[in-house]
Amino acid sequence: MYKRIVVIVCVLLWLPAFRPVAAQDYSNKGKDFWLCFPAHLPVDDYSLAQMSVFVSSSENSSGKITVNGYTTTFTVNANQVSAPIDIPYSVANISNAESGRPVTKGIHITVDEGMPPVVVFAHVYAAMRSAAMLVLPTNVLGKKYYSMNFYQRFKSDAYSQFNVVATEDATTVRYQLRINGILNGSAVTVNLPHAGDVLQIQNRDDLTGSIIESVSATGTEGCKRIAVFSGSSAVAIKSYECTNVSDWYYSFDPLLQQCYPVNSWGKEYALIPFADNPKGFHPRVMACEDNTEIDFGGITLVLNEGEYFPLNDPNPFPLTMPVAIKAKKPIAVAEYMMMAYCAGNTESSLGDPDMVLLNPVEQNIKDISLFSSNLESITAKYINVYMPTVATGSFRINGQLPQKKFAPMVPANGYSWLTESLSLSQTAYRLTADTGFNAIAYGMGKAESYAYSAGSYVKDRYQFLQVANQEGIANRLAACKGIPFDVYMTFPYQPLQITWKLPGIQPDVVTLQPVPDSKSVMDGKTLYRYKMPGGVTIAATGTYTAGIAAVNPTTDGCGGSQEMTYDITIIEPPVADFTYATDICNTQQWQFTYTGTQGGSTDTAWRWRLGDGSVAAVQHPRYTYPQPGTYMVGEYTVNDIGCHSATVEKIIVVDAALQARFSYTPACVKEPAVFTGISTVPDGYTVTQSTWSFGDGAVNTITANDPQTHVYAKAGSYKASLQLQTANGCKSNWDTTVEIQDKPVFSITPSLVYLPDGNVTFTATSNVAVSGYAWDFGDGGSASGTASVKHTYHAEGVYQVAVNAVTVYGCSGEAVQEVRVAPAPVAPVVPNVFSPNGDGVHDYWDILFLDRYTDVTVQVFNRWGAKVFSSKGYSAPWNGRVNGKALPPGTYYYIIETGGATGKITGAVTIIQ
Nearest of 98, 215, 229 to residue 162 by alpha carbon: 229
Which range of 47-61, 73-87, 321-335 scores highest in mean pLDDT? It is 321-335
pLDDT > 70? residue 9: no
Dihedral of alpha carbons 663, 665, 670, 672, sign: negative
Task: List, for residues 171-229, the tens digit of each pLDDT value.
Answer: 999 999 999 999 998 999 999 999 999 999 999 999 999 999 999 887 777 788 999 99
Count of CB atoms situated within 10 Å of the CB of 804:
19
* C-alpha span between 367 and 682 (Å, rounded): 51
pLDDT at position 45: 64
* C-alpha span between 87 and 511 (Å, rounded): 47
pLDDT at position 222: 76
**Higher confidence at residue 504 or residue 742?**
742
The kind and range of the H/E element at 236 are none
Domains and CATH numbers, the chain: 29-455 (no CATH), 464-571 (2.60.40.10), 578-654 (2.60.40.10), 662-735 (2.60.40.10), 746-823 (2.60.40.10), 833-911 (2.60.40)
pLDDT at position 267: 96
The CA–CA distances, whole Å, from 496 to 510, 516, 519, 564, 720 equal: 11, 11, 16, 17, 82
pLDDT at position 245: 66
pLDDT at position 601: 80
Task: List, for residues 791-823, the tens digit of each pLDDT value.
Answer: 999 998 999 999 998 888 888 889 898 988 888
Give Cα 469 distance to the centre of its chain. 25
Q: What is the mean pLDDT of residues 103-130?
A: 90
Instruction: Tell me the percentage of the chain whose pLDDT exceeds 90.
Output: 60
**3-state SS, residue 78:** coil
Task: For the chain, give the mean pLDDT.
Answer: 88
Q: What is the mean pLDDT of residues 579-585?
A: 88
Nearest of 888, 883, 861, 857 to residue 872 by alpha carbon: 857
Residue type, 764: A
* Strand ranges in 389-496 using DSSP code E only, listed in sequence order: 396-397, 407-408, 415-422, 428-445, 448-455, 464-469, 472-473, 478-480, 486-491
Let me know: does 331 contact 283? Beta carbons within 8 Å: no
Q: What is the mean pLDDT of residues 420-448?
A: 92
The kind and range of the H/E element at 692 are strand 687-693
pLDDT > 60? residue 541: yes
Range of weakest confidence among 184-188, 271-275, 769-773, 887-891: 769-773
The kind and range of the H/E element at 343 are helix 340-344
Dihedral of alpha carbons 397, 399, 405, 406, sign: positive
Range of weakest confidence among 96-110, 176-190, 229-243: 229-243
pLDDT at position 161: 97
Task: List, for residues 898-910, the tens digit of each pLDDT value.
Answer: 876 677 899 999 9
* C-alpha span between 252 and 238 (Å, rounded): 10
Residue type, 470: Q
What pairing do the DSSP bridges indicate for beta strands 2-4 and 542-551?
parallel
Count of CB atoms situated within 10 Å of the CB of 599:
19
* C-alpha span between 784 and 804 (Å, rounded): 9
What pairing do the DSSP bridges indicate for beta strands 833-834 and 904-911?
parallel
Nearest of 107, 31, 119 to residue 79 by alpha carbon: 119
pLDDT at position 584: 80
Task: List, for residues 120-155, the tens digit of each pLDDT value.
Answer: 999 998 766 788 999 999 989 999 999 999 999 766
pLDDT at position 46: 66
* C-alpha span between 281 and 323 (Å, rounded): 11
Helices and strands counted in the chain (H then E): 2, 76
Cis ω before 376 (30° cut-off from 0): yes
Q: What is the mean pLDDT of residues 655-662?
A: 88
Task: List, for residues 602-657, the tens digit of each pLDDT value.
Answer: 767 899 999 999 999 999 999 999 998 999 999 999 998 999 999 999 999 988 88
pLDDT band at 344 (very low <50, low <70, confident <90, very high): confident
Count of CB atoms situated within 10 Å of the CB of 785:
11
Strand partners, 631: 652
* C-alpha span between 261 and 259 (Å, rounded): 7
pLDDT at position 11: 30
pLDDT band at 476 (very low <50, low <70, confident <90, very high): confident
pLDDT at position 1: 34
pLDDT band at 246 (very low <50, low <70, confident <90, very high): low
pLDDT band at 18 (very low <50, low <70, confident <90, very high): very low
- Name, in order, each residue with C-beta under 8 angstroms of 255's C-beta and a sequence gap of 6 or more: 131, 149, 150, 230, 231, 232, 235, 353, 354, 355
pLDDT band at 21 (very low <50, low <70, confident <90, very high): very low
pLDDT at position 10: 29
Task: List, for residues 277-326, the tens digit of each pLDDT value.
Answer: 999 999 999 999 999 999 999 999 999 999 999 988 888 899 999 999 99
pLDDT > 90? residue 384: yes
* C-alpha span between 91 and 106 (Å, rounded): 10
pLDDT band at 417 (very low <50, low <70, confident <90, very high): very high
Let me know: does 63 contact 110? Beta carbons within 8 Å: yes
Dihedral of alpha carbons 38, 39, 42, 47, sign: positive
* C-alpha span between 159 and 235 (Å, rounded): 8
pLDDT at position 6: 30
* C-alpha span between 635 and 596 (Å, rounded): 10
* C-alpha span between 488 and 475 (Å, rounded): 13
pLDDT at position 901: 64
